[in-house]
Amino acid sequence: MLRHLERTPVPSQDGVVLSKKVQRDISRLAAKLGPSADRIEGRWQRRLEQILSEKPDTSKLRALSAINPGAWTPLLAAGKFEDFFETVEYHARRLAKLDLSPTQVLASVTEYQRRLLPEVKRLFPEDSTTYLLALEHLYFSIKLTLNNAYYQVRDLEATAFYDVLQDQLETLRVKDLLQRVLETLMRTFRANGGVILLHEHSADRLEVKAWKGVSRELAQQFDLALGDGLMGEIASSGAPEVIIDVKTDERIASANIRAAFQSLWAIPLAVRGKVTGVVALGFSHEYHCLPREMKLFEAIAERCALAIDKARLMEELRDREEKIRALGEHMMKVEEEERRRISRELHDEVGQSLLVARLYLEMSEGLVPQTNKRAHEKLSETRSVIEMTIVEMRRLISALSPSVLQELGLPASIRQFVKNLGRTFPGRVRLRMAQLENLPEGAKIMMYRLVQECFTNAVKHSCASNVSLQLSRRNGSVRMRMQDDGVGFDLAEAGRKRESFGLAGMRERVALLGGEIDIQSSPGKGTKVSIAIPV
């Protein structure tokens, strides 16, 4: 490929490439070459098929001819170098879009130059060196212009792919992605309007999901059942279509669409061979889609289809996660309500019954003669058991539904829990809590339950001497970090045990609320639990 160079300054303006003297020499040369241009052109064309290793079609032949100096001898003779190089650049870009390689174009240009050399010597026998040098300067500038034109086309393609990638990375919702992709396509191909239609399987039709450069009413006129009209036919066949004049195509039934555009490009969006939609671009003027443009259009459409499919899947996943999270919150709420109900029943029924039993027992002690020491001992033992049961029941009631959690908040509840735990846990507990005010009710309950579970595991299973607990709120999450110096355990082995409900329950609770949990432990090295729950 031609080596990339910065765009050449206009030679006729600054003389960086073509000096004033060279321009004058080229103008004289062009004036003399005019009558011979057709003959040179014919010889060049006869060699073209061999040079290109293919027979050029009319479009390629016309563009190749347009970058030869002989085609523009009047411009060069008049000293209009800026117009000449603009023309060369335009047709060079067209050659790039016609998918002729830079090597082929350079070979064509070189062949034409070779045909010019003997003609220059014939026209200027006494001063041919001067004009051959001027011709060499001209061709050097032509090759720079060709290089710049090919670079522009390749740069446009690279930019388009980069933009589509950015669209995919920066958007989360299908609707936003479709709009940005459409804008990228219209900018790349300089379209005046465009729509993206997606196949809605429930209705078995194409529905407009994004539009630009057209009104909503006009965009909706592209909606069609599969197999109907141009869009429906493309969705059914999976083949792209380029309509040069929409007024002559009977498949475009909408008079408004035919009035808005002259040319229309449309291409299917397909994933794994299955058409999921159609992209249509409209042009207010006649616009042929050249081979390289169609390849680019197809490549971008393929990339877009994959991006849209991925965005759809991600959107469905987010919706499902949201439903699961809502279900989890509902389950937690039901669980807490059930805990409160059991707590009330324990307090109102069992608690009252135990208090009455203790009262009756105390009354019975007064009825038994003091001389019956054995009966008094049994009654005293029974009363002690009842009192211990009352204390344990109150602890259960507090654990099931801690009133302090609603009254004083999470920090106070945890401090009270740790204080009560100290009656049965001889080790040391360090607490560190910050920024836990105004937490949502669900988050407070969840963190309290997780703290309960972690401490229960540490006390019952870890045989820990020291336990540290940190609670904080940052970056939109409540975070808990708990660490003990207990015996630890093998995570993989614990995961295989059916009776390890504690760890599984914690993971399930956290997952239901969209949080993250990390448990680190190994035999003899204690346990560390880190939890983050979004609020």
pLDDT score, position 492: 74
Q: Are 153 and 292 in contact (CB under 8 A)?
A: yes
Q: Angle between the 102-123 and 20-33 helix axes, to the nearest 10 degrees?
A: 80
Q: Are 285 and 264 in contact (CB under 8 A)?
A: no
pLDDT score, position 13: 39
pLDDT score, position 7: 38
Q: Are 467 and 482 in contact (CB under 8 A)?
A: yes
Helix (H) / strand (E) containing 534: strand 527-534
Question: What span, in angstroms and rounded, lies between the C-alpha atoms of 327 and 8?
Answer: 66
pLDDT score, position 76: 92
Is 535 exposed, middle or buried (CB count within 10 Å of its CB: 0-12, 13-18, 19+)?
A: middle
How many beta carbons lie within 10 A of that of residue 440, not counting itself?
A: 12
Can you give the three-state secondary structure of 9-47, one letter per residue?
CCHHHHCCCCCHHHHHHHHHHHHHHHHHHHHHHHHHHHH
173 closest CA partner among 53, 312, 34: 312
pLDDT score, position 497: 61
Task: Tell me the pLDDT of the chain (535 aa) as tens digits.
Answer: 333 333 334 443 333 468 899 999 999 999 998 888 889 999 999 998 888 888 888 999 999 999 998 888 899 999 999 999 999 999 999 999 999 999 999 999 999 999 999 999 999 998 899 999 999 999 999 999 999 999 999 999 999 999 988 888 888 788 888 999 999 999 999 999 999 988 876 667 788 889 999 888 888 877 665 567 788 888 888 899 999 998 888 888 788 888 889 999 999 998 888 888 899 999 999 999 999 999 999 999 998 888 888 888 888 888 887 787 777 777 777 777 787 788 778 877 887 888 888 888 888 888 888 878 888 888 888 888 888 888 888 777 777 766 667 777 888 888 888 887 777 777 888 888 887 777 777 778 888 888 888 888 787 777 788 889 898 888 888 888 989 888 888 877 776 665 455 677 788 778 777 788 898 888 888 889 999 988 7
| Burial track 94-113 (b if 16+ CB lie within 10 A, e otherwise) | bbbbbebebebbebbbebbb
**Amino acid at position 78, single letter:** A
Strand pairing category for 428-433 and 466-474: parallel
pLDDT score, position 17: 67
Kindly calculate the radius of gyration of the chain based on its CA atoms and give it in whole angstroms.
Answer: 42
69 closest CA partner among 95, 53, 91: 91
Residue pointed to by tokens 């439903």 = 323
